[in-house]
Every structure is written in structure tokens, then in C-alpha cells.
């Protein structure tokens, strides 16, 4: 083909031969190769590229393009396309000068600011592109608009041109640029004024009712009466042994399909008895030994062998017999062994049925003699108020779930359909199970090796299901958020695999292939877990402290990891870290990068990790180590990336007010995206959870600042935390009304309204009621499931008892309650309010005792009803047995442990703000007083010893009888409020009449009319009604 013939493609075909039924299509070389001798000034290419972008409507690149390539590559493609267009025009005979006149006229200006004069030496585009990338990286990898990209490319070229003018050759520039030695002068991009200044976020004005979440919720199993499950034959046998034997040290029932095996250990004097029973129909033989340490098989002494036993060298075999209990549902085989206490630590065994060996998941059974059975473990009960069927299934699957996180997350995914179909009680069951796991109450890994990428893939599957059901079940979004906060984000393939690969690179690059690092490496390969985030942080802190080993153990301890836990891993960590000083910088750099990898899988709600996942990041591969490319979430609000950067810059600030404002603005901007479905919804949810958590921790950091703050500032912080709570709550209508009330109280305070404190106190009381309602909802939904499932899984009783309290205290409700307590005395003093805050209003009679602090007597048992006057009550104490009332000048919040206990146990609990009243109560030490609390006051009086029988809290029989006097008809069928008297109407009607003239004019009193006593009987007695 002749060069002068111009075309884009050559079309041809062979007879009867086509390319998959189509003509062959061959792309011809670009024309610029035919006219390479033409010099085209770069400033013209830039103008043409800008005009192309304008013609296309100044479009932003689509998400599909972003997936295929980053924005930098998109810009280069557009730039080269502009060059090709100009070269085509030159090839038709148009001169460069004509093109310049045409472009500058079309562009409306000559682009003097960005014009680059032609030089005798042309800088290759690849060098300009590298310098452009370096500038982009140093600027924090911002999302440039096409117009900004053109300017940045121009600046990159100017920097290289300056190097040429200084006398550097292109070869020297190439060497310097690849090492990053050419200075890139970066000015920070202008901040979006709509969002924030350098110091403060500019909050948008929004209608608070837009935050309203109100959905009807129905629990499928809530109204179902669950019949108690009959005991199996083995359970009945165990119950009889429990009743007939000595204290139980160890008790377990293993399930094999429909068959069960019981192992029960009791102790009496210096003897240990081991009872083993089963409902297998085939005859059983016990193949057993004793051990002084786990895994050891020692032959039992002949003196402890049951009759008919056979010694087999390192073990013994004993035959089961039919048990002697007659009233069991079916026949049970059993055997009893008795050994001296203290000689051995445990007993390994297997069962033999015919020629079949029965083991526990492929491993030998092992009875630990040193283990103490939890005597105070509650009975599981009937599961009332729970999704019992689901919880029973979870308990059945726990032995499989404890093999690894991969197993647990996959089982949780399999159970999600059943949970969501059951409603809020089903989701509460999943939450309780996952929280028991997250708080290390359940086994994380047991005799199973699993790759990190398999764990992250299982996490990814579970979080995908959670994000989908979050969209389809809006009435349960709060529960879904709480479940997600206990589970890491996970990720497909490369994200999890990098955990496995990157530790090897760290060891290789820093020459630390032995000792603790090798033991940790083996644990990471075997079964990575959230503990690895803590271990990594402990190593970083240890290195930063100039290798102070106490700092390593301090970080571990603060996050719940002990030496014993490190040794308990399947791949135990025995050694302390030990590094050379020359390894310091490299380890800090590499472990810092590794922390992001670990958090990407295990810490979905970590703020920095959550922001990285939404904004996108890239981790380069190295050798066998895979690279990771996380793309930014599409369609984020305008200015949102800058807002997140502001948060990260100020997250450690001592003065947190501006930070909290930024966090809440980010949550408000994020909220519309959380209400619709998207394939990256879970990343947005994890970000929102992280922002929520950071508001709480930042506010707690501000407590010291608020100690001497005025009421206006405390009220402002209350509005911030209340807004945060409303954003995270499902049924938040009352919280929003409280938020409106606080905003109005602040405006009244600023305008120095005479009644601002009274108004603020009324809002405070309403907020307290809202918090109490929320606490009661948590208690009703979560605690029954925690108690039932916790008992089935043998969770520590203390963890079960405080389960709901800990959930509440991990959220913004507890922070809000603390702020309210700080404001309450200020308002009382300003508004001249009463002397009491009653937390649990129960009328009682008891003997007064005065103590310094409730903590000092919490384990005491009083042998007579006691009213404790305690100077200090922190909120975490137990109420001593025999206590009928606790009075204190302290202000534990309404959600504290002691407040919840008082209400549940019907103990009077109140705070006294008047030192004189408190001193009078203390002066009555040893005397018998009667307390009569109302909603805002406590009336007390001395009681004679002979009047003890009149007190309901001092006797167990039924209350004394009372005499009712029939009210007589007064002659009027209806009364106005002015006519209300005790003889004519009840207390409710009289209270309305009493309020007239005693409340501010802006408080409206409803018009009231009442039917007096006796009207009903009078009307019925009329002859018309006979």
C-alpha cells in the first residue's frame, strides 16, 4: 500500500474463508509514525486535550474506566488522542502556526500561563509522566479533575525543563527522576469551603426529622411458647449422679448424631471419680490411660482397674455395664473409675464398639482433672424470649465452629437465612454468638490449620450476606451494625493471602527469621486472628520504646492477651521479641505496612482501615507476595474525601470539639448512601461504624476539658453525642425530639431566658427516659439469648451476667448518660430544683448503715434489712445481700451496673444533692427508717421496732388487708376544674387543677372536666337503666 493513501483500516476477505463469519479487520499503524519528522509543540497538544474534554461535556471518568485503569492512565490516553488529531491535521497540509491561531481562538485565550516555549531539546513524555506521578503521590494521591490533571502535567514538565536549563542531560535527569531526586514543589489543594476550614468543619443546616427511623418490628418467635425439652437418657443419668454424688469438677456431654457420651468427674476427700455413660446400643469398651501432662499415655495402676479390666502395656481396657437406674427413658451403659487425687493430671481415652473406634472429631478424648466445673453456671432454662431453635443449632455446631474462624464464619453464613426469618430475636442470637467470640469467650482455633485467605474469604461471604440483609430488612439495621462490628471486613483472595506472604517478606528483608518472629509466622500461617493486630501493635510499641520489653507486654495486657493466651495457640508463641538496633527502622516501616494488611481483614471498624477501604489504596507486590489494589468507592459526596482527610489529621487532637463536628458531618453525608443498595455498601457501613466509635472515644477524651465547662458547652456536647446515637438507632423518634429540645435549650441559654434551666432540666429528664427505654430494649432482646446460649456453650457466668451492660456501655448511650450526669447538678442549682434524683423508686424499711464506699461492702451479707448511706458509688459495684436501699451523693448513671441491679432487684436507689439531708441520714446510723420515694423526692421517717411487721420488704407473707370506703354521689354529674376536691375526684384530676397558676405562662394546661365519684353508680341505678 502506498504511503500517500490514508485510511484507518484495511478490509478484505478470502473466498469462502472468513473470520468467524465476519470480514477480517486489520488495524493500520498510527499516522504519526508516517510523519514522525514533524515537530509538534506540547503546549498545542495540551490545548487540544482540554478542548476534547470540553467537547465531551467535561465528563468525569466512569467507574468501569476506573476499574480498568487509574485516572492517570486515562489522562495519558486522552493526551495521546489529542496529539494524534493534531498530527492528522498537519499531515493534510495545515501549518503549526495555523493550528496555533485556530486553537487559541477556539479556546478563548492564548493559554499564556500554561504555554511552554519550544526548546531545542524535547523532554520525552515518559519522563514527564513519571514526574507527574511523583507529584501526584506527594500530594496525597488526590482525585484530580481533568482540568487539574492538565495543570499538574504542565507543572511536571516545567520542573524537568528547569533541570535542563541548569545543564543536566536527559540521561542524568532519567537517573535522578527514577530515584526521586528531582524536587517536586507541591502546594496543598484548596480545601472545599463548604465543608471545613483549616481548623473547623462547617456543619450544614439540616432538618433533624430526616434522621427519623421508624419501622414496625415483629419477632416471629417472641409469642411462641416453648415447651421444655425432655431430658435425654444420658442427661437423666447425669442429673441423678449430680444429686447423689460429691461436688462436680468436670462435666461434658458429647453428641454423635442421635447418640451421646457423658463424662462426669466428681471429687470426695482424696478420691477422684470418673463416670462415663452412653446410650449407644452396641456393647462398649473403654480404652484408657492416665497422664501427668496432656498428650501422654501412662498405664493405670492395677489397683484402680475395675473388675474385668485388661492391661495392654501403655493402656487398659474396661467393659461398660448396664446402669442400675430404672426410670431412664432408655437403656444407658456406664462405667465408674476411682483414682487417688494428686497422682495424675488427666485421662486420655477412646471408645471401642465392636471393631469401630469412637473418637472426638478424629482425636482422643481427654479428661482434665485440674479443671473446675462452673458450679454457678446457670441452667439453660427453656429459652423463653429467644429464638430457641436457632440457639440450639448454634450450640450443636460450636464444636465445629471452634476449629477456625473459617468454620465459624461459614456456619454463621449458613444460619443467616434462619436468623433473619426469625426476626429480631434470631438476629440477636447471631449477635450474642459473634460477641461471645469477639470477647474471647469461645475457642478461636482448635486442631485445625487454615490459610489466611480462606479465613478472609469466609469473612467476605458473611459480610456480603449482612450488607444484603441490611438493605432488605431496614427495621433491623441497628442489629446488623452491631453484628458487623464484631466481624472483620474480610476480602477475596489477595487481601487474605497477603497476610501469609507479607510476614515472610518482613522476615527476609529484616533478617529476623528465628525466635518470636518465626513462632508468630507459624501462627499466622496456621490460623490468623484479631489477636495478630494486637501482637503487631505490641511489636511496634516495643521497637519505638527502644526495645523496652515491658512495653510489649503492656500493650498485650491492655488488649486482653496474656502469656498464657500466647501459649494456648495451636502454634504457640513461647519467645519474647529480640531485635538488633540496626533492624529498628526497617521493622517499624514494614510492620506499619503489615498492620494495614492485618486490619483490612480483622478490623473492619478501625477508622484508618475503614477510610482506606473507601478511598482506595494500593499495596505493591514483591516477589512471590501478591499485590493488592482496592478501588475507591464510587459516587461519594462532593468534598467527602477532604472531610475524611480532615478527620485523620485531627483524630488525636486534645481539643476534640472540631473533630467530633467533622465526624458527625461525615456520618450525615454518608447516611443517604447507607439507605440504598450497592456492591460496596459494607465498606460504607464499616466506615460509619468506625466514625460512630470515634465520636464516643473522642467525647470520653473531652471529660477533663468539660470538668470546668459552663452549662452551654456541656449542652452542646450533649447535642453532638445525642445526634451520634440517633444516627445509629433504629427507633429514634424520641431521641430526635430530645435533640430538638437541647438545641432550643442552648438558644434559650444564649439569650439568657429566665427559665432556660427549667426547660433544659425537662429535656434532660426526657433524655434520661429515652436512655432507660433503650437500655430496657437491649435487656429484653439480648439478655435472654445471652443467658440461654451462654449456658449451652459454658461461657463464664460473669460474662453472661454483664453481657447487655457491656453492649450498652460500648455505645454512645453510656457516653450520653455520663454527660447528662455532669449537667444535672448545674441545672438543679440554677433552677432551684429538688434535692433528690431517684433511680429506683421502691418503698422500704431498714436499719441505716454508713459506709465510705459501696465497693468496700459489696461482698458482705447483712443479716437484717439495711439502708446503706454510701459516700462513694462508682457504678460497677454489686449491691450486698440484705440491702434494701442505697443512698449516695454520687451520681452513677442510669445505665450503670449498680443502677440496673437496683431496678431489677427492687432495691431503692437514689442520689441526694443536699449535704444537710445527707448528714441527717448519716446521723441516723443504726436507726430503723422508712423510705418513701417519689419520682423526684425521698421522704424518710423513723419507725418503731414494733412496726416492723407493717413493712412489705421485711416479711414474706401477703400484704396486710385494707378497708375501702365507698364514695358517695355529691349531687353533680360533672365538675369543672375549679370544683375538684378529694371527696369529688381522684388525684390525677386534682393534679391538673393544682398546676394552674404554678407553672410558667408558656406551659399550657389542658381544659379539664371530670365525672365525680358516684356518678356511674347513680346512672346505673336510674330506672331507665333497670
Same domain, 50 and 167: yes
pLDDT for 188: 43
Q: Do the beta carbons of residue 809 and residue 878 sit within 8 Å?
A: no
* Cell numbers that stand for 124 in this block: 520525552
**pLDDT digits 0-9 by tens, 147-185:** 677 777 788 888 888 777 777 777 777 777 765 555 555
pTM for the model: 0.59
Same domain, 935 and 982: no
pLDDT for 354: 85
Q: Does residue 768 belong to any structural domain of this protein?
A: no
Same domain, 163 and 42: yes
Q: Does residue 691 belong to any structural domain of this protein?
A: no
pLDDT for 161: 82
Residues in the chain: 1026
Same domain, 939 and 981: no
Among 57-66, 117-126, 504-513, 948-957, the range scoring the smallest mean pLDDT is: 57-66
Q: Does residue 532 belong to any structural domain of this protein?
A: no
Which residue of the set 275, 407, 602, 897 is catalytic?
Answer: 897
881-888 and 908-912 beta bridge pairing: parallel
Evaluate if residue 110 carries a pLDDT over 60.
Answer: no
321-322 and 310-311 beta bridge pairing: unpaired
Same domain, 38 and 169: yes
**pLDDT digits 0-9 by tens, 258-301:** 889 999 888 877 788 899 999 998 999 999 999 887 678 999 99
Q: Does residue 614 belong to any structural domain of this protein?
A: no
Q: 796: helix, coil or strand?
A: coil
pLDDT for 490: 65
Q: Which residue has the higher pLDDT, 420 or 363?
A: 420
Q: Among the residues of 473-583, which ranges form H helices?
A: 477-485, 494-510, 515-527, 531-544, 549-558, 563-568
Domain end (from 147, 163, 178)? 178
- DSSP letter, residue 638: T
Same domain, 984 and 929: no
Q: Does residue 656 belong to any structural domain of this protein?
A: no
Q: Does residue 800 belong to any structural domain of this protein?
A: no
Q: Hunting for cell 483549616 — which residue is that?
A: 198
411-416 long-range contacts (CB < 8 A, ≥24 apart) are 412/462, 413/458, 413/461, 413/462, 413/465, 415/390, 416/462, 416/465, 416/466, 416/469
Q: How confident is the model at residue 331 (pLDDT cuts 50, 70, 90)?
A: confident
Of 108-122, 158-172, 746-760, give the range with the top mean pLDDT. Answer: 746-760
Same domain, 163 and 38: yes
Evaluate if residue 956 carries a pLDDT over 50.
Answer: no
Share of the chain above pLDDT 70, in %: 81
137 CB-near residues (< 8 Å, 6+ apart): none
- DSSP letter, residue 203: P
Same domain, 415 and 354: no
Q: Does residue 168 belong to any structural domain of this protein?
A: yes
Q: Do the beta carbons of residue 176 and residue 168 sit within 8 Å?
A: yes
Q: Hunting for cell 426526657 — which residue is that?
A: 766
pLDDT for 379: 58
Count Cα neighbours of 478 within 13 Å in the Cβ-side half-sphere. Answer: 26
**pLDDT digits 0-9 by tens, 592-644:** 888 888 887 777 667 888 888 888 866 665 655 556 667 888 888 888 999 99
Same domain, 1007 and 896: no
Q: Does residue 697 belong to any structural domain of this protein?
A: no
* Cell numbers that stand for 249 in this block: 469438677
Average pLDDT (899-925) is 90
Domain end (from 485, 506, 530)? 485
Residue 738: burial class (beta carbons within 10 Å; 0-12, 13-18, 19+): buried
For helices 756-792 and 424-438, the axis angle rounded to 10 degrees is: 80
Say how many Å lie between the first and final Cα of the chain, rounded.
119
Average pLDDT (363-390) is 74
Catalytic (active site) residue 407: no
Q: Do the beta carbons of residue 247 and residue 267 sit within 8 Å?
A: yes
The overall average pLDDT reported for the chain is 82
Same domain, 946 and 995: no
Which of 440, 718, 442, 498 shows the shortest CA–CA distance to 623?
A: 498
Domain end (from 469, 485, 501)? 485
Same domain, 857 and 909: yes
Q: Which residue has the higher pLDDT, 699 or 998?
A: 699
Q: How many domains are there within the chain?
A: 5
Same domain, 841 and 945: yes
**pLDDT digits 0-9 by tens, 571-589:** 889 999 999 999 999 999 9
Of 62-76, 496-510, 682-696, 981-995, give the range with the top mean pLDDT. Answer: 682-696
Q: How confident is the model at residue 868 (pLDDT cuts 50, 70, 90)?
A: very high
CATH of the domain at 298: 2.60.40
pLDDT for 278: 93
- Domain containing 107 equals 31-178
CATH of the domain at 851: 3.50.30.10
Amino acid at each position: 500500500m502506498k504511503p500517500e493513501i490514508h485510511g484507518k483500516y484495511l478490509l478484505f476477505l478470502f473466498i469462502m474463508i472468513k473470520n468467524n463469519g465476519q470480514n477480517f479487520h486489520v488495524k493500520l499503524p498510527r499516522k504519526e509514525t508516517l510523519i514522525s519528522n514533524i515537530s509538534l509543540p506540547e503546549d498545542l497538544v495540551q490545548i487540544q486535550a482540554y478542548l476534547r474534554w470540553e467537547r465531551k461535556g467535561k465528563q468525569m471518568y466512569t467507574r468501569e474506566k476506573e476499574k480498568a485503569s487509574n485516572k492517570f492512565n486515562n489522562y495519558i490516553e486522552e493526551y495521546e488522542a489529542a496529539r494524534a488529531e493534531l498530527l492528522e491535521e498537519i499531515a493534510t497540509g495545515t501549518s503549526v502556526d495555523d493550528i496555533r491561531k485556530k486553537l487559541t481562538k477556539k479556546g478563548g485565550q492564548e493559554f499564556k500561563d500554561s504555554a511552554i516555549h519550544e526548546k531545542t531539546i524535547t523532554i520525552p513524555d515518559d519522563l514527564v509522566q513519571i514526574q507527574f506521578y511523583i507529584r501526584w503521590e506527594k500530594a496525597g494521591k488526590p482525585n484530580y479533575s481533568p482540568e487539574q490533571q492538565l495543570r499538574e502535567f504542565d507543572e511536571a514538565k516545567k520542573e524537568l525543563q528547569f533541570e535542563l536549563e541548569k545543564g543536566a542531560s536527559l540521561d542524568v535527569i532519567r537517573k535522578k527522576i527514577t530515584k526521586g531526586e528531582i524536587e517536586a514543589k507541591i502546594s496543598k489543594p484548596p480545601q472545599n469551603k463548604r465543608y471545613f476550614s483549616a481548623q473547623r468543619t462547617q456543619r450544614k443546616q439540616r432538618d433533624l426529622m430526616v434522621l427519623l427511623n421508624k419501622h414496625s418490628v415483629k419477632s416471629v418467635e417472641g409469642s411462641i411458647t416453648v415447651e421444655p425439652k425432655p431430658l435425654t437418657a444420658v442427661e437423666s443419668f447425669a442429673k441423678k449422679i449430680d444429686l447423689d454424688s460429691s461436688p462436680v469438677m468436670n462435666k461434658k456431654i458429647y453428641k454423635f448424631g442421635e447418640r451421646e457420651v457423658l463424662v462426669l468427674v466428681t471429687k470426695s476427700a482424696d478420691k477422684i471419680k470418673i463416670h462415663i455413660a452412653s446410650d449407644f446400643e452396641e456393647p462398649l469398651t473403654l480404652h484408657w490411660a492416665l497422664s501427668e501432662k496432656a498428650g501422654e499415655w501412662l498405664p493405670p495402676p492395677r489397683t484402680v482397674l475395675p473388675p474385668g479390666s485388661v492391661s495392654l502395656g501403655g493402656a487398659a481396657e474396661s467393659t461398660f455395664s448396664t446402669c442400675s437406674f430404672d426410670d431412664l427413658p432408655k437403656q444407658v451403659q456406664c462405667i465408674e473409675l476411682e483414682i487417688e487425687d494428686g497422682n495424675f493430671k488427666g485421662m486420655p481415652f477412646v471408645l471401642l464398639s465392636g471393631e469401630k473406634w469412637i473418637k472426638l472429631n478424629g482425636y482422643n478424648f481427654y479428661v482434665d482433672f485440674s479443671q473446675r466445673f462452673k458450679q454457678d453456671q446457670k441452667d439453660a432454662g427453656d429459652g423463653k424470649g429467644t429464638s430457641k431453635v436457632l440457639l440450639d443449632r448454634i450450640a450443636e455446631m460450636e464444636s465445629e465452629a471452634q476449629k477456625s474462624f473459617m468454620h465459624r464464619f461459614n456456619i454463621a453464613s449458613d444460619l443467616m437465612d434462619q436468623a433473619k426469618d426469625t426476626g429480631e430475636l434470631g438476629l440477636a442470637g447471631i449477635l450474642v454468638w459473634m460477641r461471645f467470640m469477639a470477647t474471647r469467650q469461645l475457642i478461636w482455633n482448635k486442631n485445625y490449620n487454615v490459610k489466611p485467605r480462606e479465613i478472609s474469604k469466609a469473612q467476605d461471604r458473611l459480610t456480603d450476606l449482612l450488607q444484603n440483609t441490611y438493605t432488605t430488612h431496614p427495621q433491623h439495621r441497628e442489629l446488623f451494625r452491631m453484628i458487623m462490628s464484631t466481624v472483620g471486613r474480610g476480602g477475596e483472595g489477595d487481601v487474605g493471602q497477603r497476610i501469609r506472604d507479607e510476614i515472610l517478606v518482613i522476615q527476609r528483608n529484616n533478617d529476623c527469621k528465628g525466635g518470636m518472629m518465626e513462632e508468630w509466622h507459624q501462627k499466622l500461617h496456621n490460623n490468623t486472628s484479631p489477636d495478630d493486630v494486637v501482637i503487631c501493635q505490641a511489636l511496634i510499641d516495643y521497637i519505638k520504646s527502644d526495645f523496652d520489653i515491658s512495653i510489649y507486654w503492656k500493650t498485650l495486657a491492655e488488649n486482653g492477651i496474656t502469656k498464657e493466651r500466647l501459649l494456648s495457640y495451636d502454634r504457640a508463641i513461647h519467645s519474647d521479641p529480640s531485635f538488633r538496633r540496626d533492624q529498628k527502622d526497617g521493622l517499624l516501616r514494614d510492620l506499619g505496612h503489615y498492620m494495614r494488611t492485618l486490619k483490612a481483614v480483622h478490623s473492619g471498624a478501625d477508622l484508618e482501615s475503614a477510610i482506606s477501604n473507601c478511598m482506595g489504596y494500593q499495596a505493591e507486590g514483591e516477589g512471590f507476595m501478591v499485590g493488592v489494589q482496592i478501588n475507591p468507592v464510587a459516587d461519594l459526596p462532593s468534598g467527602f474525601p477532604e472531610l475524611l482527610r480532615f478527620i485523620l489529621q485531627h483524630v488525636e487532637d486534645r481539643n476534640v470539639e472540631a473533630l467530633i463536628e467533622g465526624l458527625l458531618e461525615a456520618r450525615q453525608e454518608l447516611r443517604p448512601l447507607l439507605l440504598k443498595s450497592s456492591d460496596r455498601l459494607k465498606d460504607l457501613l464499616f466506615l460509619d461504624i468506625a466514625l460512630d466509635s470515634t465520636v464516643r472515644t473522642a467525647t470520653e477524651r473531652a471529660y477533663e476539658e468539660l470538668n470546668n465547662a459552663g452549662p452551654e458547652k456541656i449542652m452542646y456536647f450533649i447535642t453532638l453525642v445525642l445526634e451520634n446515637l440517633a444516627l445509629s438507632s433504629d427507633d429514634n423518634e424520641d431521641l430526635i425530639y430530645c435533640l430538638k429540645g437541647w438545641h432550643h435549650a442552648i438558644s434559650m441559654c444564649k439569650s439568657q431566658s429566665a427559665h432556660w434551666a427549667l426547660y433544659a432540666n425537662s429535656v434532660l429528664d426526657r433524655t434520661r427516659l429515652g436512655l432507660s427505654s433503650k437500655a430496657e430494649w437491649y435487656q429484653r432482646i439480648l439478655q435472654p439469648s445471652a443467658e440461654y446460649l451462654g449456658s449451652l456453650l459454658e461461657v463464664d457466668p460473669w460474662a453472661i451476667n454483664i453481657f447487655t451492660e457491656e453492649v450498652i456501655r460500648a455505645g454512645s448511650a453510656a457516653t450520653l448518660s455520663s454527660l447528662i450526669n455532669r449537667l444535672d447538678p448545674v441545672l438543679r442549682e440554677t433552677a432551684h430544683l429538688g434535692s433528690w434524683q431517684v433511680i429506683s423508686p421502691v418503698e422500704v424499711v431498714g436499719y441505716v448503715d454508713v459506709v465510705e464506699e459501696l465497693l468496700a461492702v459489696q461482698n458482705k451479707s447483712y443479716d437484717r434489712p439495711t439502708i446503706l448511706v454510701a459516700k462513694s458509688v462508682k457504678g460497677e459495684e454489686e449491691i450486698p445481700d440484705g440491702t434494701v436501699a442505697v443512698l449516695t451523693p454520687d451520681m452513677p448513671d442510669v445505665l450503670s451496673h449498680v443502677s440496673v441491679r437496683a431496678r431489677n432487684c427492687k432495691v431503692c436507689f437514689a442520689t441526694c444533692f443536699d449535704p444537710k439531708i445527707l448528714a441527717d441520714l448519716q446521723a441516723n446510723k443504726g436507726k430503723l427508717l422508712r423510705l418513701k420515694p417519689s419520682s423526684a423526692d425521698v421522704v424518710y421517717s423513723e419507725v418503731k421496732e414494733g412496726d416492723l411487721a407493717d413493712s412489705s420488704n421485711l416479711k414474706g407473707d401477703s400484704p396486710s388487708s385494707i378497708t375501702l370506703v365507698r364514695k358517695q354521689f355529691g349531687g353533680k354529674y360533672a365538675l369543672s376544674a375549679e370544683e375538684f376536691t378529694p371527696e369529688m375526684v381522684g388525684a390525677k384530676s386534682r393534679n391538673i387543677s393544682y398546676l394552674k397558676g404554678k407553672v410558667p405562662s408558656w406551659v399550657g394546661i389542658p381544659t379539664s372536666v371530670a365525672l365525680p365519684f358516684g356518678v356511674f353508680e347513680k346512672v346505673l341505678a336510674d330506672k331507665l337503666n333497670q
